[in-house]
Amino acid sequence: MKEAVTVENLSVSFSDIRVLRQITCKVEEGEIFGLLGPSGAGKTTLAKVLTGQLVQNGGVAKLFGKDTRKLGTKEREQIGIMMDCFGLYDRLSVYDNLAFYADIYRVPKSRIWGILKSIGLEQAGKTAVQKLSKGMKSRLSLARALMRDAKILFLDEPTCGLDPVTAREIHAVLEEQRRKGTTVFLTTHNMYEAHKLCDHVALLHEGVIVEYGNPAKICGKYNRLQKLLVTLKDGKTVVLENGSSAALPMKEYLEAERVETVHSTEPTLEDVFVELTGKELGADA
């Protein structure tokens, strides 16, 4: 599979503050990649370098093989961006905002209502943006990114501030994009979202990638206990080795219909992040 994003030894500094230090990672075409980290870890900075909004101090950043410092009109047409600051026209309606970008992107306006429906904003089509909640603005910003048939989507915290039902709808939209072969570069501090959606994640802490890989494999790697936690119907919890020795006692519990739940001691991405950095993902860096 071809690489959509290639980052090698990338460093970014603002004055004497080093925001990104020797970052190396890659994103393959058609995958959903999650960049996880607390606020201030450098997620948005990396996304800005990759979209050509910021120039790095050192290292290499490539988008579909092209140096991000030299992105031209053709390459930019392949990028859909949802930024942390929405960049919407407050006085215009939801529809008019998208109609304007349909003009800019040279796509038919007929697709606007379909996109609004897919992200749950159909009812607000004629509402002025200044009357929308933060979550709705976030969705509109995502809709704008989806307007053009981009090869890669850069989404900055796409479900931040959204209710669980809407967040699930957004996840469905992203999975649909993956099915269509679109690469998605997601920055988030929601580990559940990352685990559910992403093919690969990078855990970013103070400008350094502390772990990189498939979410399930990362969690498996840090599952040091390798145990099964069996909660019985009488409230007791039994700890079993995660191996053949657990087969017999498990069989007995199951035959006696005493099992309430079975869990492994596999950590979540949040647990892994805490183990590696001593800080939580939701915290400031």
Please, which residue, 88 or 160, has the CB nearer to other proteins?
88
Please, which residue, 130 or 265, has the CB nearer to other proteins?
130
Contact (Cβ atoms closer than 8 angstroms) between residue 239 and residue 227: yes
**Residue listed under structure tokens 């892994």:** 272
Q: Using CA atoms, how far apart are residues 50 and 62, in angstroms rounded to an integer?
A: 7
Look at residues 237, 240, 205, 213 and name the one whose alpha carbon lies nearest to residue 226.
240
Q: Using CA atoms, how far apart are residues 162 and 174, in angstroms rounded to an integer?
A: 15
DSSP state of 93: B
Tokens of 200: 């690969």
Distance of closest approach, residue 51 Cβ to other proteins, in angstroms: 7
Total residues in contact with other proteins, by rule CB under 8 A: 26
**Which segment (29-37, 87-95, 177-185, 253-261) binds other proteins by CB under 8 A?**
87-95
- CA–CA–CA angle 160, 161, 165 (5° rounding): 95
Residue 85 binds to other proteins (criterion: CB under 8 A):
yes
Q: Between 108 and 147, how does the x/- string for binding to other proteins read (CB under 8 A)?
A: --------------------x---------------x---
Among residues 69, 70, 76, 134, which is the contact residue for other proteins, using CB under 8 A? 76
Among residues 9, 57, 104, 224, which is the contact residue for other proteins, using CB under 8 A? 104
Distance of closest approach, residue 39 Cβ to other proteins, in angstroms: 18
Look at residues 61, 67, 59 and name the one whose alpha carbon lies nearest to residue 47.
61
Residue 76: CB atoms within 10 Å: 13
Distance of closest approach, residue 74 Cβ to other proteins, in angstroms: 9
Distance of closest approach, residue 55 Cβ to other proteins, in angstroms: 13
Binding residues for other proteins, rule: CB under 8 A, are 51-53, 73, 76-77, 79, 81, 83, 85-92, 96, 100-101, 103-106, 128, 144
